[in-house]
Amino acid sequence: MKKQPTVILAVAAALSGALLGGCEAPDVSTWISGSGGQSTTAPEGQATGEETTIPEAPSIDWNAIPETFVLAPGSEKALPHGEGVTYHISAPDVATVSPDGKLAISEHAAIGSKAEVTVEYQGQTKTAQITVKSSLSETIMMVNSVPTVTNPTDLAVVVNKQRSLPVDYIPPGLTEPNVPFPFSGKAEKKLLREPAARALESLFAAAEKDGIQLYGVSGYRSYRTQKSLFDGYVKTQGAEHAARYSANPGKSEHQTGLAMDVSGADSRTRLEEPFADTPEGKWLAAHCAEHGFIIRYPKGKEEITGYAYEPWHLRYVGTTMAKEIMEKGITLEEYFQDAVAVQSQS
């Protein structure tokens, strides 16, 4: 390495002075290692001379970005941010991300809707999937000492023995689907809410293409109708049987306008468990999710749903939710188990 002339002269002068004056010669290395004739002493373990330590580039905590988020409508989540960090959302109608990394779920995002957020920094990327869910604890309130749902019109509303509909609730947009019924004439139980009615038509049409004949049996029931039905079960078959196979008024999914009991051509299996083993029952279990329906009361889940296995009872929730629920073999209640209350999200 070529030395500066001033450094060489300084070294020569120092040696000459030491020889003539009898003083101790200085450590030459302290001069050679200096810059511009100045001496520097590097801390132990560090390189000396002309080597330069390059500071590490700033980084972000990639571990702070999980593979999945479960967030409620209207909630927010802080993502790692800094200069040079960029974000991309696959579904802006579901969620947005601000330049400072604030992930915000739309208040109007449908339960069960999904989006992907991608974080990019210095050539690295990480993508997380967002699923929109509300905590069940946030969609219920006490009304006259009765736990009552606050989202009765939501297509993902959970109604069961612990979660009642408002007593006076009538679903919006009730209509009669264009599907066959084993009875004629106008009837309340032919009705469904518009989205469920259109989906049922699609389901029945797909079944017919596969050589399967399905019939609608019982859809919407008003509070009054459910009360009459339940009281009749209690009177004829006892309270225990009624509680196992029928719902108390206000706690029936049929009042949501999103449920339909269906059957095949054989009346002997109509609303009976052996329906599951018929060609119609097997086809229904395999294909209902493709049209947004689930088997609401699956086998082996009685302790969770509160009801016996009903392979004929379809509940509309939309295709995204339905496919996940049916693929995982879970109930509607279990689908919401990983949902977090908004106040505990950050």
Q: Is 310 a catalytic residue?
A: yes
Contact 217, 266 (CB under 8 A): no
Q: Identify the active-site residue in 310, 324, 327, 334.
A: 310
Q: How far apart are the C-alpha atoms of 286 and 289, rounded to whole Å?
A: 8
User: Three-state DSSP class for 71?
Assistant: strand
> What is the helix (H) or strand (E) element at residue 121, kind and residue range?
strand 114-121
Q: How far apart are the C-alpha atoms of 298 and 317, rounded to whole Å?
A: 15
Q: What is the largest CA-CA distance in the chain?
A: 127
- Amino acid at position 325, single letter: I
- Mapping DSSP onto H, E and C, the string for 155-221 reads CCCCCECCEECCCCCCCCCEECCCCCCCCCCCCHHHCEEHHHHHHHHHHHHHHHHCCCCCEEEECCC
Q: Name the β-bridge partners of 115.
A: 130
| Other CB atoms within 10 Å distance of the CB of residue 282 | 14
For every residue of 79-126, DSSP letters joined together read PP--TT-EEEES-TTTEEE-TT-EEEE-TTPPTT-EEEEEEEETTEEE
Q: How far apart are the C-alpha atoms of 111 and 171, rounded to whole Å?
A: 18
Q: Active-site residue numbers?
A: 310
